[in-house]
Amino acid sequence: MIGGNDRRANSLEARDVATILHPYTNPVVHEADGPLVLARGDGIHVIDSEGNRYVEALAGLFCASLGFSESRLVEAAHRQMQALPFYHSFGGRSHEPAIELSERLIAMAPVPMSKVFFANSGSEANDTAIKLVWYYHNAIGKPRKKKIISRQRAYHGVTVASASLTGLPYTHKAFDLPLAGILHTDCPSLYHHGLPGETEEQFATRCAQSLEALILGEDPDTIGAFFAEPLMASGGCIVPPATYYEKIQAVLRRYDILLIADEVICGFGRLGTLFGSEAFGLKPDMISMAKQLSAGYQPISALMVNETIYGAVREQGGAIGTFGHGFTYSGHPVATAVALETLRIYEERDILGHVRAVAPVMQAALDGLAGHPLVGDKRGMGLIGALEITSDKATKTPFDPALGVAAKVGKFAQARGVITRAMGDMIHLCPPLIITADEIRDVVAKIGGALDDTLSWLERGN
Ligand code: PMP
C-alpha cells in the first residue's frame, strides 16, 4: 500500500484513487491510504501487486470457499463460454446448467422447496423475497399483510429494500432508509443484550416476547414476514441463544407470518451443516443464497420458494399475464455452470466432512485468544468466528471509535500476512472451507500476534 504523497503518478494505486468509488470504504481515508491491489490467487492465498502473499482469512467476502485457484471452476466457465456464453430465462427460455442447478438445490434444501429463482447478488435475492411476500399476500386476498420484520444488526444487502432489512446504521444514515413498513426487532446477542445472570433460554424467551409485542403493537394482520440469517455473520457473528428459533417460530406460526432464511453466508457448509437452517431448526418458506453457491467465482444468487408461495405466484402471474419480475442475468449460463461445478466439488471432496473435522480446531484456537486483554468476547460456530475488541472486559466498554482499534488489529494482521476484516469492534474470521488444521493454527497465531501489536501500540499512546 503506497500512502499519500509517496503514491507514484500513474501507479495502479493513483489510478484507483482517481477513478473508483469503493463500496464500504471511508472515502477520505482511502484517498490518503490508497488501495490494496491484488494481482492473483493461489489456494487460500492472494498475492498483491507488489508480490506480498496473504492468507485470505475471510474467503474474500465470506465466499471463496474453494480458495482462489480452483481450475475446475475455470474450466467449467470456459466450457460454458464456448457452448453458450449468454442466454436469459425470460419468456420461458432455459438451458441445461440452470435446470440441473435448480434440481440440485431443491434436492439439497433443508425443507421441501418447489422452485428456484435466480439472481446475481444476495441483495437481489432478498429484494425478490420481499416482492414475493407482497405478491403472495395480494394473491391470497390479504393485501394488508405487507410489513416485514428484520432484526437490529442484521445484514441482508444494500439495494433499497434489502438495505432497509439490514439493521446497521451506516446502511440507513443519509440514505433516507429504512423504507416504511420494514421494522426491526431485537438482535439475539446475549453478550450485548443479555441481562446479568440471564441464561440463553431466558434471553431467547425475552426475544420472542419482544417480537410478539411488536407484532401485536402493529396489528398481526399487517405483518407479512420475518427475515433471519440463521447465524448473524456480518452483524457480529451472533450465534442465536439456545431455543431462540423454536420460540421465534412459535410466534410466527401464531400470527401466520412467513419466514425467510437468508443463507447467503451460512449456506453450503459454513456452519458444519449444509444450511444454517438445519443447524438451528428453521423451517423457512423461502431461502435466499449466494456467495458459496459459486465459491465466489461468478456472481449468482438464488431464492428457493416452497409450494405454497409458488402456488400463489402461479395464480397471480397467470391472472396478470406474466410474473413481472426478473433480471437480464437471472440464471446466467456461465454463472449457473460454475455454481453447478462448485456443488459437485463440495460433494466429491466431502467439503462438509472437512469443515466438521477442522471447525473444532478453529473454534478452540480462537477460544485460546479469549483471555487476551483486548478481547471482550469470542463467538463462532463451524468455520466462522469473531473476536470482539473491548477496552474493558468487565463492563464491555468499547474503545472510542475514533481510535479505530479493531481496524488497527486488521492492519497488524495484514502486516503479518493475514487478511481478515474489522467491522465495528469485531475481527471476523471466515476462511476458505478448504483450509487445513495447520493453516488455521497459523492464522489464529498471527491474529494473536496482531492483538499483541495493537496492545503495544495502545500502550505507546498510538
Ligand atoms: N445477506 C447476507 C447474510 C450477507 O452477508 C450479504 C452480503 N454480505 C447479503 C445478503 C448481500 O449480498 P450481496 O452483497 O451479494 O448483495
What is the DSSP secondary structure assignment for residue 238, as one 8-state letter? B
Can you give the pLDDT at residue 6?
Answer: 58
Write down the ipTM of this complex. 0.99
pTM for the model stands at 0.97
Q: Is the CB of 121 under 6 A from ligand 1?
A: yes
Crossing angle (nearest 10°) for helices 351-367 and 437-459: 30
Architecture of the domain defined by 36-69+351-459? Alpha-Beta Complex (3.90)
Nearest-atom number in ligand 1 for the CA of 154 is: 3
Q: Is residue 147 helix, strand or coil?
A: strand
Cα(122) to centroid(ligand 1), Å: 5
Q: Are 263 and 277 in contact (CB under 8 A)?
A: yes
Cα(303) to centroid(ligand 1), Å: 13
- CA distance linking residue 328 with residue 428, whole number of Å: 34
Mean pLDDT by 10 residues, the chain (462 residues): 61 96 96 96 97 98 98 98 98 98 98 98 98 98 98 98 97 96 98 97 98 98 98 97 98 98 98 98 98 98 98 95 97 98 98 98 98 97 98 94 94 97 94 98 98 96 78
Can you give the pLDDT at residue 9?
Answer: 82
Query: What is 440-456 written as a DSSP string?
Result: HHHHHHHHHHHHHHHHH
Q: Are 358 and 344 in contact (CB under 8 A)?
A: no
Please compute Rg for the chain using Cα positions. 22
Can you give the pLDDT at residue 2?
Answer: 45
Distances (CA, A) of 421 to 157, 292, 323: 17, 18, 40
Cα(130) to centroid(ligand 1), Å: 15
What is the DSSP secondary structure assignment for residue 232, as one 8-state letter? B
Q: Are 369 and 375 in contact (CB under 8 A)?
A: yes
For the chain, the domains span: 36-69+351-459, 73-348
**Cβ neighbours of residue 101 closer than 8 Å, sequence gap 6 or more:** 116, 302, 336, 339, 340, 343
Q: Are 200 and 239 in contact (CB under 8 A)?
A: no
Respond yes or no on whether the N-terminal peptide bond of residue 178 is cis (omega within 30° of 0).
yes
Class of domain 73-348: alpha beta
**Cβ neighbours of residue 159 closer than 8 Å, sequence gap 6 or more:** 123, 124, 126, 127
Q: Is the CB of 80 under 6 A from ligand 1?
A: no
Q: Are 191 and 235 in contact (CB under 8 A)?
A: no
The neighbour count for residue 18, using CB atoms within 10 Å, is 10
Nearest-atom number in ligand 1 for the CA of 234 is: 5
Nearest-atom number in ligand 1 for the CA of 157 is: 11
